[in-house]
Structures are given as structure tokens and as C-alpha cells.
Amino acid sequence: MRVQSLSFLLLAVAFPIYGADQERSDWAGFFDEFDAKGTIVVADEREKSRAMWVYGQERASKRFSPASTFKIPHTLFALDAGAVRDEFQVFEWDGVERSFAGHNHDQNLRSAMRSSAVWVFQQFAKDIGEERAGRYLRRIDYGNADPSTDEGDYWIYGNLGISAQEQVSFLKWLYKNDLPFQSEHQRLVKDVMIVEAGTDWILRAKTGWDGQMGWWVGWVEWPSGPVFFALNIDTPNRTGDLAKREQITRAILQSIDALPTP
């Protein structure tokens, strides 16, 4: 696609390559502190930093189910396909009691993203269809771009897979509004991703969990530039391990002054 090729060129100028990723073996301490096994990729694009760091190089290139981190591109697909109009559209709760209380009420785009209301995105998937979903995935070069599944949601239980390295690449595109979607849709997705903000920084991120492995991906915006991150860890203790996703990532970002220390 000619427009997409141009966007790739523009992105290369906006985010120059600074050599190979630097392995941060010292970050093992953060994972050990929380008794977790995993990887993290950090792309520091602040003016005075310009570094690509990784802990767990081999795992960082391995593809896993995106789980609910897929809500980021999925929202773009839904907006483009007309499955959702804007952040104000209300999706009426179907009355089915789910294990997380935050899912058991009417939702809009912002609340569905914040609480990871899977049933809203299941409706998006139904409206979009597998064939069109595949076209969207290939259009943005998202992981293996495979929306097929034998049973269950393809972004959790299906064949779709993406690596931590690829998550960061995708987030860079979104940050620059350089994905092949309307700019207003990309800005809206970034808006509903906001987790926290200070006077001069904004944290935009999304968690994900497929039952065995958990994600936290996103970026911190500073006046001097963004700091992107993608972490995934094993979750042998299931929900007992979920808090570790943010705890480890926050500790690492704070260690490089990419996130304020409380």
C-alpha cells in the first residue's frame, strides 16, 4: 500500500534506529523481587535518551496471545467498520452475570477499555467478521495477523500472536497517528487508553491476560518525548500474579526516571 509505505518512511525518520537493543540483565532484580518470569522491552525516545532496552531478549521476540492488549487495535477496527460511533455510544448490558463486577452494567468505549469488558469486544468481533479482521491485521502488520480460532475469542484463545518487540513497534505507529486509519480514530483510542497523568506526563496503557500469561503495554508521554514499554510475564498463580504486571513495569520505568516515584 503506497500510503502505508510512506508512513513507514516517516516513522523511520521520527523514530531513528540507535543500534541493537541493549540487554538489561540488571533488570532481572525487578522480576526476582516479584518472583516473576518474563520479559520487558523499553524504547526511550526522550531527546536526551534515545535508547532501546530489553530484558529477556529471546522471550521478547516470542509471540504470545495479545489477550486484552488487543483492545487497542480492535477499537480502531471497530471505529473504522462502524461497529462503534464514538466514546459516548452506550452498549446495553445483556444481563449475564460475569465474574468481574465491572463488566455487569452498561458500557461505553471508555469504560469497556478501562474494565476490559470482553463482551463489548466480542460484539465488535461479530460485527467486523473474521475475514475483515484478517484484512485489518495484515494492514497494520500486527504480529502474525491470524484471526482464526477453533473455539473462543481469537485474540485470547485463537491463533493470533504478537511479541513484546512487535507490541512496541505497533504502539510507536499509534503514538504518531501513522496507522492506516483516520487520525481522529487514533486520537480517540489514545484518549481512552489514559491510565494516569501528572502536570507534565501522561501514562497510556493496557493490560492483558490469557490465563497463563499477562501483559502490560503502553507508553509515558513527556515534553521531551515518549517512553514505550511492553512487558509479559507467566502467571502460574493466575489472578494472584496479575498485579505484578504493573508493579514490575512501574519499578523499571521509575528506575530510568520515565515515571514519577510516588
> What positions carry a catalytic annotation?
68
- Contact call for residues 228 and 72 (beta carbons, < 8 A): no
Contact 177, 186 (CB under 8 A): yes
The span from the first CA to the last CA of the chain, in angstroms, equals: 45
CB 84 within 8 A of CB 109: yes
Secondary element (H or E) of residue 113 = helix 109-115
d(CA 72, CA 188): 11
Residue from 167, 52, 190, 55 nearest 110 by CA:
190
Q: What is the spatial distance between Cα 113 and Cα 76, in angstroms, rounded to a whole number?
A: 12
- What single letter denotes the amino acid at residue 57? Q
Contact 239, 232 (CB under 8 A): no
